[in-house]
Amino acid sequence: MGSILVTGGAGYIGSHTVRVLLAQGAQVVVLDSLVTGHKEAVPAEVPFYLGDICDAGLVKTIVESQEVEAVIHFAARSLVGESMAKPDLYFYENTAKTNLFVSNLLQLGVNKIVFSSTAAVYGLPETVPISEESPTSPINPYGLSKLMIEASFHWLEKAYGLKWVALRYFNAAGASLDGSIGEEHLPETHLIPLVLKAALGQRDAIQVFGTDYNTLDGTCIRDYIHVLDLAEAHVLALKALDQQSNSGVYNVGTGQGYSVLQVITSAKKVTGIDIPVVEVARRSGDPDVLIAKVAKIEKTFGLKTRYSDLETIIASAWRWHQNNPDGYKSKS
């Protein structure tokens, strides 16, 4: 049995996926630049390579010495706001580097890849729940940087037999159940970590961005999926890759949405803290409702989410934040 190369395995979703793979007996190798990842998040027994996905020599060394047979590719920049300010960075880091990386993998005889894509490829959806057939029209460079890779895979499949799955994540959330690894972005922009930082008193309040959306309580609705369920989706996708017919794009969510106010109410209940809330203006570029249609991934890969109820998501994230109020010790 060969090993699975996980790029970005020191990042939020990558590090949880590494643990799920190990628990299922897989051989795992991590390649991470630690620009946004955390070495501490990678178990000591996993071979770790510090470096960049576009370092062809390093990739060759890893593939040959570790007998890599498939890749899960997380390594990327993932902040929507940053992508608006620096689109060139996103097209270089996410699109150009992935193209080079995959081209090198194919030359080395590795033709199976599970790729981190995003619901941001859909932009402002015309209908919800959003199916994989919905039009793609990203409204930020982050979404476009990922969509271009999906499109390139289609042609790499035709030309070289690439077997690929692009997982379009909705809102990844939560932490490992023991609270030992979790979510830390610098800067943090995501709702659940910010709510819990307010609960810890590290922020004065949680700001609610807009209360005049076309939803039941006026705040935006998102489809939150526990990071462990998301991790499981990668493992199932990997198993399914031996059949070429499974190549393609798959939504990963729960099919159920919660509003910003529902998330805050649940966080108050889980933490027992009356978290201060401030209503402010809308953040630009936020669609009213983003909910995934999940029939395709459920039917094809048999994904069943186990941890994605709001309470389990928030309780696990709360354990992580309480155990690690300053996040990871090393900032890389």
Q: Which residues bind ligand UFG (CB under 6 A)?
A: 78, 80, 118-120, 142, 171, 189-191, 194, 206-209, 220, 222, 260, 283, 286, 290
Least spacing, CB of residue 317 vs ligand UFG, in Å: 12
Q: How many CB atoms lie within 10 A of CB 60?
A: 14
Closer residue to ligand UFG (CB): 11 or 46: 11
Closer residue to ligand UFG (CB): 146 or 163: 146
The two three-digit tokens of residue 304, written as one number: 């069943």
Least spacing, CB of residue 101 vs ligand UFG, in Å: 21
Query: How far is Cα 241 from Cα 248, in angstroms, rounded to an integer?
Result: 10
Query: How far is Cα 45 from Cα 205, in angstroms, rounded to an integer?
Result: 40
The SS3 call for residue 328 is coil
Q: What are the start-end ranges of the E strands in 151-294? A: 163-169, 171-173, 206-209, 221-222, 224-226, 248-252, 258-259, 277-280, 289-290
Query: How far is Cα 30 from Cα 99, in angstroms, rounded to an integer?
Result: 19
Closer residue to ligand UFG (CB): 103 or 207: 207
Least spacing, CB of residue 38 vs ligand UFG, in Å: 18
Residue whose CB is nearest to ligand UFG in the complex, by number: 220
Closer residue to ligand UFG (CB): 48 or 209: 209
Least spacing, CB of residue 139 vs ligand UFG, in Å: 9
Query: How far is Cα 127 from Cα 232, in angstroms, rounded to an integer?
Result: 27
Q: Which residues are tagged catalytic?
A: 142
Task: Give the DSSP H or E segment for 115.
Answer: strand 112-118
